[in-house]
Structure 1
Amino acid sequence: MLRQYVRVCNISPYNIFLLRNKSSLELWDSNISTEIKLEIEKHWNSTVQQNENKGDKNVYILPMFPYPSGNLHMGHVRVYSISDTIARFHKLNGFNVIHPIGWDAFGLPAENAALERNVKPHIWTKSNIDSMKKQLIELGYNFDLDRELSTCDPSYYKWTQYIFLKLFERGLAYQNEAIVNWDPIDKTVLADEQVDDNGCSWRSGAKVQKKVLTQWFIKTTQFAKDLYDGLDEEYLENWRDIINLQKHWIGDCDGSVVTFQIKLNSVLRPLDIWTADPYKFLHAEYVVINSNNVILKDLTEEEQINLKCYNPLTNGEMNVYIYDNISYPEGREIYLACPTMDPKDRKISELLNIPCNQYKTIDINKENKRAIQKAQEKNCGGYFVSSKLRDWLISRQRYWGTPIPIIHCEKCGTVPVPYTDLPVELPQHSFQEKNIFTLSKFEDWLNCECPICKGKGLRETDTMDTFVDSSWYYYRFLDPSNRNVPFEKSALIGKTPVDCYIGGKEHAVLHLYYARFMSYFLHSLGWTPTKEPFKRLLVQGMVMGQSYKVKSSGKYIPKEDVEKTGKVYREKSSGEAVRVQWEKMSKSKHNGESPLRLLSTYGCDTTRLLILADVPPATTRNWSDATLPGVLNWQHRLWITLREFLTNRRNSALINNKSLSPEAFNKLESKICDARNYFTATSTYHFKYTQKLSVGISQLQSLTNTLRNNVPAEIIVKSKEFELALASLIIMLSPITPHFCAELWAGLTSAPNRISNDSGLIAWDKDITCQRWPIVDDHFKLSLRCKVDGAPICDLKILATELPYITKEKALEMVMKEEPVNKRLRRDIKRIKYELYPDCRAILHIFTIQNATKSDKMEQAGSAV
């Protein structure tokens, strides 16, 4: 990474050695200011961008990669400040950190922006990537640029096409007619989630139309049951309510699907039929279809009356009836009827005037199993899925996307592009002159040779949904230069699943579902060591801005156009009442904040500290300048703490001063020692386990208070504990404000008369990036807490050397000796959960029978921790 950074920044090889062990700027006599902060950041940027990992164990920290719009917004600043802080924390703990960045570069917004500017999409996208990469570096984010990728690069989407062909080979990628949401302005299909409550497009605002189109699908439903059950894996950490979101999206897999064949216009077409009673696949007598079903499109009345379908399990033919007034399964328009065994179906037969045979008795459980087994043997279904879950529609009718590697031949039908011909690249003709929206306009590209018969063929003109590109990028990051396969399994071993995946909650359903599906599919090919792609999720809340909306018209106006009289807000020009509220930042609402303004006004370290302080990552952040004074004051206090430390250490008169008695000196030292250990333990807990970074930051602020509140100069000059506490504070803050702490560290280590040179905890001769995260002293006592039904009952103190060896059984034995626990346990214990965090604390949860249900819900929501 250092070589990559040197190359990007055009640093002379002769000066590479200057990237290490720089000295302080020695500006301590001046008060900290933006000018000094910017000078510090310029001075230390090359040092804090070093990425030379030396750990034996890998940790993979992955923020969701951005769409390259050209400018970072506050959501970007939040997610990448979180990921960079966590990555730097793990590096200080001796891990080999993988922290890559890439670009989700295809899609409609880039294509439309390029059209508006009369620029080719790849040129527009490349310029945006260059701009955003520069901003990321300016914010001090320590990404591994050697792993950088872009989904619009043929060297990446070649492998997206390769994976598509693997799906196609296994019958998981297929074409079918579907009723779709059509945007008449952007001229493309929209997912249901891209249509608002008023039936309008998420982007253009146009009223969405319903169309019947032949589309490409990926059969995600075949993996539904595995994906649902996988959410209960014990190694998934911090998924909390995301598990419920995923389960709700997938639905209870309480039925099964088999693909029948239906005869339409003398052509057999696939017909997926779902039922909660698999035995019906063997014993059903007819099929009922809702009149709105797309397969009835363009059929004459006679053809509708004579519809037949073929059952692959029985090789028999069945009548198909069109009828609306029955209860279809949720999300389905087809019903499989078996009136000889199901009383409900007998009533349907009566409504349709279909004669019924006598009831038959069968072993339903046995027949259910037999039907599933037979369907799987014949490769026509038999997988379990909810009725509401649909396959993934991936077709998009625009130019700027991954081309689908399929050729259509009149003789051979649908033919996959040979692997040796990948990538199928986008044509690079003049894009704007032809006002091109689809690949069908590029005739030279469109016409091709059929790989099988060598006759005339036509390339598929739909491109893939960008969710396909982002469904597997986390694996490519681990083997980015592989030219033979998408990635080698060996490159994933010991690095996957991703240790911490960080991104917005708006991606916690669709993107996460598609990424999980793709990982399960790739695992079924034997390509990956695990099914699940992500071990821990850190879902960040949105950054909200204060908006001002005229009540009468609903018009958004800028803050400067608003005046406040008492508690009432009004528009200055009209006197109209104004509603003030917190909303997602956007230009149209005039409530955004520019990261570039923050960078130039406060510097990158202060910007990072601002976005991380006060509010945990998962919580919505209401952005306000009201948080500025606290953060700026804290940096000022840290600055003057170093100034006073250096001034006192250089004062020979103070060195010989003995104004404190040995008892008083030792008492103050003991207080500082306890504070260092306590705040080290609590900060470690929140940085490493809960990842509530704002709480960890508050612990560091408290440690700062300890070092500043009425500490005599003699302690500052002579106390080893003060020196260690100050060093620990700077090291623990460095993942958040790396440049600022690099300067503080250089000042600290330049001080004369250092007392703790013999400490093995700190490498005094190395810069801040080479330090190790502090640990508590062996003699310090850590907490063993007991909670009964979620309520804290007692807190035992255990030596730091002993806590890692306290088992669940031993912990229970210890807390049961405490009177408050025995007093609270008036009911039988249902179960016990033990959480051991060996470097900072342990928590024993006791659940009683009466409160078990409530406590389980609390635990699932994360309240227990």
Structure 2
Amino acid sequence: MYHTIRKLSGPCRLKLSTPTLIARHSPNALLHRCYATAQLDLPALDRIWRQKWSDNQQLEQRRLGPDPSTTSFSQERDAQNSADHMYILSMFPYPSGNLHLGHLRVYTIADAVARYHKLRGRNVLLPMGWDAFGLPAENAAIDRGIDPAEWTRDNITRMKEQLELMNGAFDWSREFATCDPDFYKHTQKLFLLLRQSGLVTRQRAIVNWDPVDKTVLANEQVDSEGRSWRSGAQVEQRPLEQWFFRITEFKEALLHGLDELAKEDCWPERVLAMQRNWLGRTTGARYRFPLAADNQSLLKDLEYLEIYTTRPETVFGVQFIAISPDSKLAKDLASSDSKVHEYLESLQGMTETNMQGYQIPYIKAYNPVGRVGTEFLSQTDPLPVFIAPYVRGDYETGAVMGVPAHDTRDFAFWQQNSLSGDVKYAITPDPTGSFPEIDGPYLESGYMTELAGKYSQKSSDEVVESIVEQIQSKTNLAELRTKWKLRDWLISRQRYWGTPIPIIHCESCGPQPVPDDQLPVELPKVDHHWAGGRAGNPLESATDWVNTPCPKCHGPAKRDTDTMDTFVDSSWYYMRFADPHNQDSPISEIAARSRLPVDIYIGGVEHAILHLLYARFFYKAIMGSFHSKKGKDMTNSMTDPSHDFSHEPFKRLITQGMVHGKTFLDPESGRFLKPDEIDLSNPTEPKVVASGKLPIITHEKMSKSKHNGVDPTTFISKHGADATRAHILFQAPVAEVLNWDDDKIAGVVRWLRRVYDHVYKLAATIQNADDDSIPFDGKGYFTKREAGLNATNEERATHWEDSMSVWRTVQESISSVTTSYDKVYALNTVVSTLMSLTNTIIDKPEASRRVRLAATTDLIRLMAPIAPAFAEECWHVLHPNENMLFDKAAPVRWPVPDGSLPFLQTDRVKCTVAVNGKKRCMVDIPLKPVDIEDSKELERWITEQILNVPGAQERLSTPENDIRKATKVFVMKGGKSVNYLMPKRSKM
């Protein structure tokens, strides 16, 4: 059994017990190491180093000053003076009460990247807070009869405790919840600023009403089946007075900004494509279809139906016109036609997927193409007009031209309503212009058919403008138009748990902004509402709160009882993290200049449209507005034209994949099985307890109904945070789905244990050697000592070869790992590279102690962002008198390549040199060039290379042993061995 006694000022691991571990972290403890019985206790290491980091943080706070606002200002001042800052942000969580593995994955990624940049010497901001408003808290309050604020605060406390277990380096001094009045005071200020800038409107609109949650939903919150994104209820259409942000004013800026974000893969192409599609910029045409009725008075002076289409070239294939049930024409007809009225009544509760239409028998429409000239006589027939549920009243003119040959919904409507005749193909894939022989719509570009007259056989893409211009010039019934799918952002919510809209309604003065000195407008206490378990908006009945004087005329008035969409909070929270203690402004000028925009933003791709689009709008609108004002704080001080804050809030976007859990299904019923219904006594062959059969095993999104969830806190308490973090990062590339498997963490734990044992064994060999305190210069070491290869001693040669192999792997690993941390998406390769580096260091015991110590030191620094507590422990064992790796004031620096790699490359070969069959030395020379074939040329080349090695020339070019005078040269194994036969010396 190996023993060593060593005096250290840092920790050394003896036992599993926490008290022993803590005791050994006292300075100048005399430590005894027994390798055969020592064990690694990762959870204990977590507790010890979290406490040390906390103590170190408190020391730094005392250095900066006790006042939070002073601390914030000092930090921002320091950051402003440093160009090398880094703002890393993970999408803040909703405080549901329990941390899940999805949370753990995104925050592990963010923390690892942040710690990496800290070790690179950057001033890193890694904040954490809570997206605390929203329906879940309010619904929980109704179910439990408690205030949503109480439920939310309890959940925040619980989730913060869970987050702290993951060894994160979050700056908790900047923590806030969006339900804090100190936060939503500034949300209200921003609302009023946008209103002052003309970017807020209030108007009556047909809105999406969720009958379960009893609130309005934005279009983005309704799925393709017309259901609420949260409650799943079938959404109803209701007319209400609502508040809107005029995001459409920024549509061009939002679209053009995507081009910048696409450069150098700053944002994933998938997200960019989703945003482009949501903005929906299209170039098309607006056609006017003349109308005729049996009784012209029914049309009420309506001469045309204006219709916008993104495919103007398909106008030759129009076979019917469809109008929305919500269109003015449909409603006008319903007032005088009982059948139309009955049909519209029958549509209540129907979805837009309903294809059963109603043909208006006494109204016809005419294709504008038929008015162009004689060549289009086939287009002069009247077109039937339908009321069709699939046509949206809020999109464009509320009418579409039905082209069943080139649109899937038009084709489905054509079939559902049994319209007679063949569909008319205006476009075909055949260059000859022949009609396609297909049973269904043709949706691609192609060639115009004979229906297009003179455009027949021409490319459909190339004739669009010409077609529209001809119709326009002949009839004035067409014009080219650019249209957008994007609609203004509806932010009104008829719920309690959100930011109150800071508007007071006065019958005399109209809507008035709440004065700045009266902000925030806080939510009133309505305990009776929660105790009664009532749904709906309690603000409407909070009379003491609602009734208030008008700020302009001081007469009786009422507060607005709507609250803001919670996406408003998450659209600017990243700005507030830069200056969270500012009482006067959302963010100061100095904080904005030093911290914004966010350098790396990390979160799920499910936020690609709503949150990210709104956040981009807010940044452009708010920062651009502030930029144009003058004054003392951010709301009117961004006057320097060199600082344009109107661009993008997130320089890089990292979207991590989901975490799927192992899921067991009954092979007969397909039912999801609970853990106690599976026999795992043989983990490689689980069985269904009830039947003894093999279950179906899949990996699916974790949920309670599938019984496949994993409690991360339980996992961390068992395996330790660092092993869990490494396991999460190792199992899958960042962007891909992680199929969680508890058992696979064993490999990570073995790796950490192997590093741990190696560190202690290596520490025992140091014994205060003088050269161990000097930073290792790999380039100088291997350049100066290259002559050592000339030794004939095999042991020395092996020692040197192992040293070179270890240091070569170190240099390659530094480059590879650094690149992976920079790219983020390849963090899984960091762990695999470090495992390989560990194997090389440990498997090359003949390498010099200095090289192994330097290599291990670099290994610890490279793994520190992923396993910070474990790395701190190993670092302190090897370097007990140095700062902690993550010391707040002076963190240890990241390793960089030292320039030695060219001297360590594998394109060189160890060459054993013998003279007359007797080994004289071993030298390191380049591999034989492939273009040297002639044996005489090879002999000359290899002799020259040998003599170029320092030390070899003195030994092999003496008058007695000048290898250049050899009578015969034998080159073997491609240059790995050379034997020189020298001429016999004459006897004296």
TM-score (norm 2): 0.62
The structure 2 residue matched to 1:732, chosen from 856, 862, 882, is 862
Question: For residues 626-672 of structure 1, what are the alpha-carbon distances to aligned partners after superposition, in whole Å with 9 as ceiling and x for unaligned?
Answer: 321211110111111113213444699xx9xx997333322221111
1:294–1:216 distance in 2 versus 1, CA, 3 Å: farther
Partner secondary structure for residue 87 of structure 2: strand
1:35–1:20 distance in 2 versus 1, CA, 3 Å: closer
The structure 2 residue matched to 1:401, chosen from 498, 505, 510, is 498
1:551–1:468 distance in 2 versus 1, CA, 3 Å: farther
1:158–1:76 distance in 2 versus 1, CA, 3 Å: same
1:630–1:168 distance in 2 versus 1, CA, 3 Å: same
Instruction: State yes or no: 1:67 paired with 2:94.
Output: yes
1:359–1:134 distance in 2 versus 1, CA, 3 Å: closer
1:242–1:531 distance in 2 versus 1, CA, 3 Å: same
Partner secondary structure for residue 594 of structure 2: coil
Aligned to 1:101: 128
Write the mapping of 1:781-796 to structure 2, written as runs, cut at 5 A.
781=902
Residue type of the partner of 1:334? T
The structure 2 residue matched to 1:472, chosen from 572, 584, 609, is 572
Write the mapping of 1:622-633 to structure 2, written as runs, cut at 5 A.
622-633=739-750
The structure 1 residue matched to 2:281, chosen from 247, 252, 272, is 252
Checking the alignment, whether the CA contact within 8 Å between 1:672 and 1:721 is kept in structure 2 is: yes
Unpaired segments ≥5 residues, structure 1: 1-17, 258-272, 278-287, 306-321, 338-343, 345-357, 369-383, 751-763, 785-794, 798-817, 820-865
Residue type of the partner of 2:49? W
Displacement of 1:215 after TM fit?
Answer: 2.4
Aligned to 1:189: 216
1:293–1:387 distance in 2 versus 1, CA, 3 Å: farther
Aligned to 2:434: none
Checking the alignment, whether the CA contact within 8 Å between 1:479 and 1:491 is kept in structure 2 is: yes
Greater shift, 37-46 or 722-731, is seen at: 37-46
Displacement of 1:93 after TM fit?
Answer: 0.4
1:256–1:595 distance in 2 versus 1, CA, 3 Å: farther
Aligned to 2:893: 772
Checking the alignment, whether the CA contact within 8 Å between 1:544 and 1:623 is kept in structure 2 is: yes
Residue type of the partner of 1:251? G
Aligned to 1:180: 207
Residue type of the partner of 2:875? W
The structure 2 residue matched to 1:620, chosen from 710, 719, 737, is 737
Unpaired segments ≥5 residues, structure 2: 1-22, 61-74, 287-305, 311-320, 341-384, 401-425, 427-469, 628-637, 639-643, 773-791, 909-929, 932-988
Displacement of 1:298 after TM fit?
Answer: 7.8
Question: For residues 396-440 of structure 1, what are the alpha-carbon distances to aligned partners after superposition, in whole Å with 9 as ceiling and x for unaligned?
Answer: 221100111122222333333233322111102324235453111
Write the mapping of 1:107-118 to structure 2, written as runs, cut at 5 A.
107-118=134-145
The whole-number CA distance in structure 2 between the counterparts of 1:765 and 1:651 is 14
Aligned length: 677
1:421–1:106 distance in 2 versus 1, CA, 3 Å: same
Checking the alignment, whether the CA contact within 8 Å between 2:732 and 2:828 is kept in structure 1 is: yes
Instruction: State yes or no: 1:673 paired with 2:807.
Output: yes
1:228–1:629 distance in 2 versus 1, CA, 3 Å: same
The structure 2 residue matched to 1:29, chosen from 20, 28, 34, is 34
Partner secondary structure for residue 179 of structure 2: coil
Displacement of 1:711 after TM fit?
Answer: 1.8
The whole-number CA distance in structure 2 between the counterparts of 1:774 and 1:628 is 27
The whole-number CA distance in structure 1 between the counterparts of 2:572 and 2:259 is 22
Checking the alignment, whether the CA contact within 8 Å between 1:236 and 1:535 is kept in structure 2 is: no
1:22–1:582 distance in 2 versus 1, CA, 3 Å: farther
Question: For residues 57-114 of structure 1, what are the alpha-carbon distances to aligned partners after superposition, in whole Å with 9 as ceiling and x for unaligned?
Answer: 2100011111111221111111111111111100100001111111000001111122
The whole-number CA distance in structure 1 between the counterparts of 2:758 and 2:88 is 33
The structure 2 residue matched to 1:417, chosen from 514, 517, 522, is 514
Aligned to 2:184: 157
Residue type of the partner of 2:648? E
Partner secondary structure for residue 100 of structure 1: coil
Residue type of the partner of 2:725? R
Aligned to 1:607: 724
Displacement of 1:612 after TM fit?
Answer: 1.3
Displacement of 1:741 after TM fit?
Answer: 1.0
Aligned to 2:607: 507
Checking the alignment, whether the CA contact within 8 Å between 1:200 and 1:208 is kept in structure 2 is: yes
Checking the alignment, whether the CA contact within 8 Å between 1:398 and 1:463 is kept in structure 2 is: yes
The whole-number CA distance in structure 2 between the counterparts of 1:167 and 1:296 is 36
1:629–1:471 distance in 2 versus 1, CA, 3 Å: same
Checking the alignment, whether the CA contact within 8 Å between 2:205 and 2:240 is kept in structure 1 is: yes
Residue type of the partner of 2:187? T
Checking the alignment, whether the CA contact within 8 Å between 2:280 and 2:486 is kept in structure 1 is: yes
Aligned to 2:925: none
Aligned to 2:69: none
Write the mapping of 1:9-88 to structure 2, written as runs, cut at 5 A.
29=34, 36-49=41-54, 50=56, 56=82, 57-88=84-115
Instruction: State yes or no: 1:390 paired with 2:487.
Output: yes
Residue type of the partner of 2:258? L
The whole-number CA distance in structure 1 between the counterparts of 2:745 and 2:336 is 72
Partner secondary structure for residue 231 of structure 1: helix
Aligned to 1:486: 586
Displacement of 1:256 after TM fit?
Answer: 11
The structure 2 residue matched to 1:662, chosen from 796, 804, 817, is 796
Aligned to 2:376: none
Checking the alignment, whether the CA contact within 8 Å between 1:250 and 1:386 is kept in structure 2 is: no
Greater shift, 410-419 or 588-597, is seen at: 410-419
1:222–1:548 distance in 2 versus 1, CA, 3 Å: same
Displacement of 1:331 after TM fit?
Answer: 6.9
1:28–1:601 distance in 2 versus 1, CA, 3 Å: farther
Partner secondary structure for residue 686 of structure 1: helix
1:523–1:34 distance in 2 versus 1, CA, 3 Å: farther
Question: For residues 185-222 of structure 1, what are the alpha-carbon distances to aligned partners after superposition, in whole Å with 9 as ceiling and x for unaligned?
Answer: 32223345545566544444444434333322212112
Aligned to 2:876: 746
Query: Aligned-pair RMSD on alpha carbons?
Result: 4.2
The whole-number CA distance in structure 1 between the counterparts of 2:646 and 2:134 is 30
The whole-number CA distance in structure 1 between the counterparts of 2:266 and 2:119 is 22
1:651–1:498 distance in 2 versus 1, CA, 3 Å: closer
Aligned to 1:839: none
1:783–1:640 distance in 2 versus 1, CA, 3 Å: closer
Displacement of 1:460 after TM fit?
Answer: 1.5
The whole-number CA distance in structure 1 between the counterparts of 2:826 and 2:29 is 32
Write the mapping of 1:361-400 to structure 2, written as runs, cut at 5 A.
361=473, 386-400=483-497
Checking the alignment, whether the CA contact within 8 Å between 2:43 and 2:718 is kept in structure 1 is: no
The whole-number CA distance in structure 1 between the counterparts of 2:163 and 2:246 is 38
1:651–1:534 distance in 2 versus 1, CA, 3 Å: closer
Displacement of 1:26 after TM fit?
Answer: 5.8
Residue type of the partner of 2:833? Q
Residue type of the partner of 1:401? G
Checking the alignment, whether the CA contact within 8 Å between 2:327 and 2:393 is kept in structure 1 is: no
The structure 1 residue matched to 2:831, chosen from 694, 697, 703, is 697
Displacement of 1:515 after TM fit?
Answer: 0.5
Displacement of 1:452 after TM fit?
Answer: 2.6
The whole-number CA distance in structure 2 between the counterparts of 1:524 and 1:425 is 28
Write the mapping of 1:711-730 to structure 2, written as runs, cut at 5 A.
711-712=845-846, 715=847, 718-730=848-860
Checking the alignment, whether the CA contact within 8 Å between 1:103 and 1:150 is kept in structure 2 is: yes
Greater shift, 566-575 or 56-65, is seen at: 566-575
The structure 1 residue matched to 2:761, chosen from 644, 647, 652, is 644
Residue type of the partner of 1:542? M
Displacement of 1:300 after TM fit?
Answer: 8.4
Partner secondary structure for residue 666 of structure 1: helix
Checking the alignment, whether the CA contact within 8 Å between 2:620 and 2:645 is kept in structure 1 is: no
Kindly name which structure, 1 or 2, has the bigger radius of gyration based on alpha carbons. 2
1:327–1:571 distance in 2 versus 1, CA, 3 Å: closer
Percent of aligned pairs sharing the same letter: 39
Question: For residues 774-804 of structure 1, what are the alpha-carbon distances to aligned partners after superposition, in whole Å with 9 as ceiling and x for unaligned?
Answer: 00112324999xxxxxxxxxx999xxxxxxx
Checking the alignment, whether the CA contact within 8 Å between 2:723 and 2:749 is kept in structure 1 is: yes
The whole-number CA distance in structure 1 between the counterparts of 2:715 and 2:858 is 28
The structure 2 residue matched to 1:545, chosen from 648, 655, 661, is 661
Partner secondary structure for residue 536 of structure 1: strand
